[in-house]
């Protein structure tokens, strides 16, 4: 056994055999003394390349495999008594990684405590031969893709490997002609046929070859390969989502179906904005890219919208707001949005155990990612961790504290336990950045130098000019109000209560002091009104509520915004039918949705909807507004407004105790093909599960007529998309003052020729001068004759004898000759 007291040279175990130990002098000395290498673990090192025994990987993604494959055998099992000493282990897939593993087991028993396997098992996962495939994560229709096939020979002798691209009707192989000639515009293709290549692999060697393929259809395309050698072989495949060309324009037409007071809804006619044909008469440009049209009609029997379930246990920023998921803000959204849904399902007794576990597991992974964005010294959160030094954000830190407080729930601690130390770090940062000295007018406020969201940091477009003297104060209101919501949350650990209370009290004093200045800024007023509901002094929260009610807009149900948001266009056609047209995006959409969400929360907390009919009527109008501003079924315009809208609607929806008896029938009939009419049924068992009716490219035109009957509430949304090719066709947000103008919300650019993917994958783009290059100019195929990657033989200088033999062959020409040449 290893015992530091008996022998300092045998202080620590090597975890291989009971008698193998190491001492202090062997710890982090740069030499591996234990077979497991445990004596060189957890050492201070500038890079993993400094670790003893490090070998530079031949394959670019070797470390990625190591990072994501190291838990391939981790399993936790509950063993019932009297199993005859046998515990069932689930089947595990051994990763393709050349390394050794130390495999052991730990058991926890209520009587015997913790037991650890005394003699772990050593296991090596190195294969003699294996293959890995690398391909782009996505591509556009018409692009030529280079699939990288990496071959590894870990035997001690050379082998020949036959690589076969399997035939399929879903893709073609791009063939290289004689002399390396290939046309990028209309290349020679091999269709629905196997393509073979014989590869030489030296002992212990590796190589990578490229197979250029051209997908023939949109959707998910699976590309299959098989390899054969006399020491082994395998088959593998990659699946690539293929999207249509062009820039996608999307159009949303959402409405709230309210069958609580009426048992039947008059026919609603939704206009599909996409035309039947893509040809514009007497025009060279096309209305849209052929094959790019699609329409989806989604019905959800709940005002909160699609929640969570076995088919979709979570939804991130990309699926609910079309936003990327690489920043701290997106990680916080991913946590907050899914936690809000879990709380709603829990409070309405609709939460299933399987959904709870799956969603919390995802939330836990996002929490692990969040810790990467927390600066270890100050405790602040940075949107981009590579720039901690000067870009920690007060707003993100307050949002992070609020999100973690929403996530912290004692019943979920088994999966998503959040240490009080994390809360402490964030509170210390907020305490250090809160204004406590200087101008007393700013006492208790927060500010942020990183102003990346105009809704929070600037005075947004206003109908009524705001006194310039108010600007410095109003710019601090939103972050200060958010800090109140975070520090006043009941899930803050009790030992940190005094610190949180100190921050909250000072922030509330700032909001009370400057409340009169907020009349012309809807978001400042709404956030402050909700924050003041956590104030022990009730005077100001009712004053803020009165200011909200006096500044509400009534031209589109009820909402709060500094500029008008036009409602869905409902206009009669020549036959007298009312046609619902898609909503028009406005630059202040997200601002209005978020302000209205906070206002709804403030009104809900300062009133009694169950007894106040006026308040109940106002809430119904607000819910109609929020329902008709959705850009997609899972979310609204952006991330912050989606979180607040869900949070507000969650409070309203949980008051509805009649959902168990709701029963709704929705009849759908497209004018493009009435034979494809369908009925959707909603009841207490599937209210929050989205029911989708889809139309393909050929049927996406005309109108969709919807009739609803029964009892209950449902959000119905028609979502239409089509892709365009010209800049003037790209859909942009309209100017609220002059709708004939539009705001440029993004620019479309693409790199010509070939672009690198993951450092080496070839991805041929179809824009600008595509056609000035081809696959052989970038060694994109194993057939290219001039690429050193595939043809690495030493250049041989011809001797005089070789030249004379060639001349003689030309002279005889018509005669048969056999010439042997040795070099």
The pLDDT tens digits of the residues spanning 806-823 come to 555 555 444 443 333 333
Cβ atoms within 10 Å, residue 569: 13
Residues 6+ apart with CB under 8 A from 5: none
The DSSP line for 277-305 is -SBPTT-SSBSS-TT--EEEEEEESSTT-
Phi-psi region of 113 (alpha: psi -120 to 50; beta: other; left: phi over 0): left
The domain 129-243 is classified under which CATH number: 3.40.640.10, 2.60.40.10, 3.40.50.620, 3.65.10.10? 2.60.40.10
Exposed/middle/buried for 69, CB within 10 Å: 0-12, 13-18, 19+?
A: middle
| pLDDT at residue 85 in the model | 62
Domain ranges of the chain: 1-90, 129-243, 250-302+656-737, 309-571+585-654, 738-811
| pLDDT at residue 598 in the model | 97
| pLDDT at residue 520 in the model | 85
The DSSP line for 543-594 is HHHHHHHHH-B-SSSSB--SS------EEE-TTS-EEEPPPPP-TTHHHHHH
The 10s digit of each residue's pLDDT in 472-502 is 898 899 999 999 999 999 999 999 999 999 9
CATH of domain 250-302+656-737: 2.60.120.1540
Q: Do residues 688 and 298 make contact, with C-beta atoms less than 8 angstroms apart?
A: no
Two tokens, residue 739: 């709708």
| pLDDT at residue 454 in the model | 60
Nearest 10 degrees: Cα torsion 376, 379, 382, 386: -10
Q: Do residues 224 and 232 make contact, with C-beta atoms less than 8 angstroms apart?
A: no
Instruction: State how far the Cα of 425 lies from the Cα of 226, in Å rounded to an integer.
Output: 53
Q: How far is CA 103 from the centre of its chain?
A: 34
Cβ atoms within 10 Å, residue 797: 7
Q: Do residues 117 and 105 make contact, with C-beta atoms less than 8 angstroms apart?
A: yes
Residue ranges in the chain whose pLDDT is less than 50: 46, 48, 51-68, 459, 461-462, 742-769, 793, 795, 812-823
Q: Which CATH architecture has domain 1-90?
A: Irregular (4.10)
Two tokens, residue 775: 């696959």
The domain 309-571+585-654 is classified under which CATH number: 1.20.1250.20, 1.10.1200.10, 1.10.1470.10, 1.50.10.20? 1.50.10.20
Instruction: State how far the Cα of 244 lies from the Cα of 141, in Å rounded to an integer.
Output: 5
**Among 664, 647, 716, which Cα is nearest to 347's?**
647
Nearest 10 degrees: Cα torsion 820, 821, 822, 823: -170
């Amino acid at each position: 056994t290893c015992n530091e007291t008996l022998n300092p040279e045998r202080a620590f175990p090597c975890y291989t055999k009971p008698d193998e130990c190491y001492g202090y002098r062997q710890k982090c000395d740069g030499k591996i003394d234990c077979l497991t290498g445990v004596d060189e673990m957890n050492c201070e090192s500038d890079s993993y390349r400094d670790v003893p025994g490090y070998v530079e990987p031949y394959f670019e993604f070797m470390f990625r495999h190591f990072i994501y494959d190291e838990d391939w055998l981790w399993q936790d099992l509950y063993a019932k008594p009297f199993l005859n000493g046998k515990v069932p282990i689930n089947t595990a897939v051994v990763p393709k990684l050349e390394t050794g593993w130390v495999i052991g087991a730990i058991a926890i028993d209520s009587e015997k405590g913790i037991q650890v396997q005394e003699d772990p098992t050593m296991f090596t996962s190195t294969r003699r031969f294996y293959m890995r495939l690398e391909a782009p994560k996505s591509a556009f229709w018409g692009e030529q893709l280079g699939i990288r096939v990496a071959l590894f020979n870990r035997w001690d002798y050379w082998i020949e490997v036959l690589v076969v691209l399997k035939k399929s009707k879903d893709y073609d192989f791009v063939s290289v002609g004689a002399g390396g000639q290939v046309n990028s515009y209309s290349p020679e293709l091999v269709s629905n046929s196997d393509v073979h290549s014989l590869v030489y692999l030296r002992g212990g060697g590796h190589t990578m070859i490229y197979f250029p393929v051209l997908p023939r259809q949109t959707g998910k395309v699976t590309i299959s390969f098989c390899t054969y050698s006399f020491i082994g072989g395998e088959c593998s495949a990659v699946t690539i989502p293929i999207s249509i060309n062009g820039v996608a324009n999307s159009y949303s037409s959402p409405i709230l179906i309210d069958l609580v007071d009426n048992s039947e809804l008059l026919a609603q006619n939704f206009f599909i904005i996409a035309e039947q044909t893509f040809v514009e008469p007497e025009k060279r440009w096309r209305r849209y890219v052929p094959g790019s049209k699609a329409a989806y009609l989604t019905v959800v029997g709940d005002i909160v919208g699609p929640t969570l379930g076995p088919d979709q246990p979570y939804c991130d920023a990309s699926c609910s707001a079309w936003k990327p998921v690489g920043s701290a803000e997106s990680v916080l959204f991913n946590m907050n949005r899914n936690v809000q849904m879990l709380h709603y399902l829990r409070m309405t007794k609709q939460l299933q155990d399987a959904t709870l576990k799956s969603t919390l597991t995802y939330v836990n992974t996002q929490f692990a990612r969040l810790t990467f964005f927390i600066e270890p010294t100050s405790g602040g959160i940075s949107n981009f961790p590579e720039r901690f030094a000067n870009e920690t954000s007060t707003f993100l830190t307050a949002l992070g504290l609020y999100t973690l407080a929403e996530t912290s729930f004692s019943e979920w601690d088994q999966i998503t336990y959040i240490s009080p130390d994390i809360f402490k770090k964030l509170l210390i940062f907020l305490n250090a950045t809160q204004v406590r000295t200087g101008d007393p007018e700013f006492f208790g406020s927060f500010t942020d130098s990183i102003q990346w969201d105009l809704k929070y940091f600037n005075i947004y477009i206003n109908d009524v000019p705001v006194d310039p003297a108010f600007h410095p104060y109003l710019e601090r209101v939103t972050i200060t109000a958010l800090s109140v919501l975070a520090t006043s949350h009941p899930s803050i650990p009790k030992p940190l209560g005094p610190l949180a209370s100190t921050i909250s009290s000072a922030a509330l004093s700032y909001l009370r002091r400057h409340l009169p200045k907020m009349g012309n800024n809807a978001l400042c007023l709404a956030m402050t009104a909700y924050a003041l509901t956590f104030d022990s002094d009730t005077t100001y929260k009712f004053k803020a509520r009165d200011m909200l009610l006096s500044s509400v807009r009534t031209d589109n149900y009820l909402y709060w915004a500094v500029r008008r948001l036009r409602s869905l266009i409902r206009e009669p056609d020549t036959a007298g039918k009312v046609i619902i047209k898609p909503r028009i995006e406005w630059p202040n959409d997200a601002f209005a949705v978020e302000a209205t969400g906070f206002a709804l929360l403030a009104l809900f907390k300062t009133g009694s909807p169950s007894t106040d009919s006026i308040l109940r009527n106002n809430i119904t109008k607000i819910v109609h507004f929020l329902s008709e501003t959705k850009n997609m079924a899972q979310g609204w315009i952006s991330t912050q407004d989606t979180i607040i809208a869900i949070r507000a609607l969650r409070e309203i929806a949980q008051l509805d105790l009649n959902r168990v008896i709701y029963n709704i029938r929705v009849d759908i009939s497209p004018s493009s093909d009435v034979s494809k009419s369908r009925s959707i049924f909603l009841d207490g068992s599937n209210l929050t599960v989205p029911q989708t009716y889809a139309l393909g490219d050929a049927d996406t035109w005309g109108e969709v007529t919807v009739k609803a009957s029964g009892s209950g509430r449902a959000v119905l949304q028609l979502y239409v998309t089509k892709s365009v090719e010209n800049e003037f066709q790209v859909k942009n947000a309209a100017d609220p003052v002059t709708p004939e103008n539009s705001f440029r919300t993004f620019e479309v650019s693409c790199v010509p020729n070939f672009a690198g993917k993951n450092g080496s994958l070839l991805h041929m783009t179809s824009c600008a001068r595509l056609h000035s290059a081809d696959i052989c100019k970038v060694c994109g195929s194993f057939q290219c004759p001039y690429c050193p990657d595939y043809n690495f033989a030493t250049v041989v200088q011809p001797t005089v004898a070789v030249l004379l033999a060639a001349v003689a062959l030309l002279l005889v020409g018509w005669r048969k000759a056999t010439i042997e040449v040795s070099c």
